[in-house]
Structure 1
Amino acid sequence: MKRREVIKKIGFSFGAVTLTPSLLSVLNGCDFKQEGWQPKFLSYQEYDMTDKITDIFIPKTDIPGAKELNLSRFIDAHYQLMLSSAEQKNIKFLMKKFSDMLLEKTSKKKLDEVSTSEYENQFSRLLKADKLQRQRWQKSYNDYTKKLNKGEAVKPLSKDINSYIFLDGLRQLSIWGFRNSEYIGEKVLAYDPVPGQQRGCVDLIETTGGKSWSI
């Protein structure tokens, strides 16, 4: 199945994200043409890593991918504008654990030496692990954060757990930003700028050709 068809069927399955005017302007490209743009939250190294990861998640095919839609800039703005200081600190921590794991697994000294295929190998190992393993990682992380929030003593999580949590969260945010970008919303998903009548139980194939509605 082509990626265009997959995107049409992706559901908004990971919770609502509140969009501020500032974040909306970034998502729809208002800030992307600024000369000399620089990341506001991520370091240059973190930004480059995010850019590479999102491009692997959503490469350009018959429709624009992450790079063409500047998803890494949106993600940088999301981290800056939407996260609390504690959440920002946690993102930095998870990114560091992921980069440490990546360098260790690839025997590289610098992130810019890691190839796309080496990134993909780790994505496959973590994101495509069997369901039970992924559930264990998520539970371990949830239990860890609950204890941490209560001020209880905790044992450090493995790099694999931290890396999985980081990648899964970034993948979800990338898909969300992709689906809600102006181009995808108007050109790929079902789009009606002036909604009319409300109909309840209708066949999606009949009404939109199987496309999800643009948000």
Structure 2
Amino acid sequence: MERRVAVKNMLFALGATVSASTVLSIFGSCTEDAKTGWVSTFYDPSEIKVVHNLVDIYLPKTSIVGGKDLNLAQFVDMMSESVLDEEKQAEVKLGSKVFIARFEEEFDKNIANGSKEDFEAFIALYMNVPKDKEDKVFQLLDTPDYKLLPKSEQQDYLLYTFLTTVRTYSFLGFYTSEIVEDKIMELT
């Protein structure tokens, strides 16, 4: 399948309203900037550490490349800055702060000292949930104005907004990567 068609189909599947050329441009920039020493422009250093760990958990290296190999943390950073509107950007940033605060409370350590195992265990608390809890999370994320929710639910809304944004852009970057596309074509 032609790469632009694959990108377009992926965007439609995700319900995104961003052009394929934008995604390809950002992805191309990521691979170039990675060689020159990239610095995050949307997430601060502690947040980008979280994004790096999430990318590695969502898309670990297997018989094909993983999210780290494709510099997907950089892709997530650039997509968050370039594609999200200001309101959603603010929610994602607040969600990353909720993630960090809860992580540090759970493990009684600074996020910078968190191991991959810590991150995996923490993500499992929120992403490996029973079907009824999953349904509640999706209902929560469909809330038109999260500020009208009770405080505890606001925090959950923000956390899940951050987690799902990172996951969505990680998978988008992964499945629109030429390297992955070529590998998948080899296997079929």
TM-score (norm 1): 0.71
Per the alignment, residue 60 of structure 1 pairs with 61
Q: CA deviation at 1:161?
A: 4.7
Unpaired segments ≥5 residues, structure 1:
1-10, 191-207, 210-215
- Cα–Cα, structure 1 residues 185 and 118, in superposed 2: closer, same or farther, change >3 Å? same
- Does the 8 Å contact 2:79/2:169 carry over to 1? no
- Does the 8 Å contact 2:42/2:80 carry over to 1? yes
- Does the 8 Å contact 1:127/1:168 carry over to 2? no
Instruction: Report the identity percentage.
Output: 24
Per the alignment, residue 130 of structure 1 pairs with 130
Q: Deviations over 1:129-153 (max 9, x none)?
A: 001111112223433x4364xxxx4
SS of the residue aligned with 2:36?
coil
Q: Which has the larger radius of gyration?
A: 1
Q: Deviations over 1:44-63 (max 9, x none)?
A: 22112101110111111211
How many matched pairs? 176
- Cα–Cα, structure 1 residues 107 and 140, in superposed 2: closer, same or farther, change >3 Å? same
Per the alignment, residue 19 of structure 2 pairs with 19
Give the AA of the match of 1:135: D
Give the AA of the match of 1:155: P
Give the AA of the match of 2:122: Q
Q: Distance in 2 between matches of 1:164 and 1:183?
A: 29
Give the AA of the match of 2:151: P
Unpaired segments ≥5 residues, structure 2:
1-8
- Cα–Cα, structure 1 residues 169 and 35, in superposed 2: closer, same or farther, change >3 Å? closer
Deviates more, 1:66-75 or 1:162-171: 162-171
The one of 164, 178, 185 equivalent to 1:182 is: 178
Per the alignment, residue 32 of structure 2 pairs with 31
SS of the residue aligned with 1:32?
helix
Greater relative contact order: 1 or 2 (C-alpha under 8 angstroms, separation 6 or more)? Answer: 2
Query: 1:200-215 counterparts in 2 under 5 A?
Result: 209=188
Q: Distance in 2 between matches of 1:20 and 1:40?
A: 22
Q: Distance in 1 between matches of 2:170 and 2:50?
A: 14
More helix, by proportion: 2
Q: CA deviation at 1:164?
A: 3.3
- Does the 8 Å contact 1:147/1:154 carry over to 2? yes
- Does the 8 Å contact 2:92/2:158 carry over to 1? no
Deviates more, 1:20-29 or 1:58-67: 20-29
- Does the 8 Å contact 1:23/1:77 carry over to 2? no
Query: 1:97-112 counterparts in 2 under 5 A?
Result: 97-108=98-109, 110-112=110-112
Per the alignment, residue 156 of structure 1 pairs with 151
Q: Distance in 2 between matches of 1:49 and 1:79?
A: 14
Q: Distance in 1 between matches of 2:157 and 2:31?
A: 36
1:69 partnered with 2:70: yes
Give the AA of the match of 2:170: S
1:166 partnered with 2:162: yes
